[in-house]
């Protein structure tokens, strides 16, 4: 049987990286929308409308990894609980 070793620090770091990535995707999406809206103060022609569709596609694409990373965080937290439970055993 193979030995498996998982360190709590590595799992905790992975959770932190997922959370950081979610924040970055969310910030990028908001910044993109805000910049587009600010451009609309002086620019409201057909090209602006076309750009709006592209911005919408981009912000939608940015939300997909957020959902997936949220699932990863849930799984990693469950793994961390299992590691902690195992370490608490008096073997």
**Cβ neighbourhood burial of 33 (10 Å; 0-12, 13-18, 19+):** middle
CA–CA gap between residue 84 and residue 79 (Å, rounded): 9
Is the model more confident about 52 or about 3?
A: 52
Q: What is the pLDDT of residue 3?
A: 63
Is the predicted pLDDT of residue 82 greater than 50, yes or no? yes
Model pTM above 0.95 = no
CA–CA–CA angle 80, 83, 88 (5° rounding): 125
**pLDDT (average), residues 59-73:** 95
Q: What is the pLDDT of residue 1?
A: 44
């Amino acid at each position: 049987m193979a030995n498996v070793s998982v360190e709590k620090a590595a799992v905790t770091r992975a959770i932190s990286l997922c959370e950081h990535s979610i924040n970055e995707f969310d910030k990028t999406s908001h910044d993109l929308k805000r910049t587009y809206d600010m451009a609309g103060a002086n620019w409201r022609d057909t090209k602006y409308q076309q750009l709006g569709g592209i911005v919408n596609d981009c912000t939608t694409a940015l939300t997909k990894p957020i959902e997936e990373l949220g699932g990863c965080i849930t799984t990693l937290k469950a793994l961390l609980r299992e590691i902690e439970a195992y370490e608490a055993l008096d073997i």
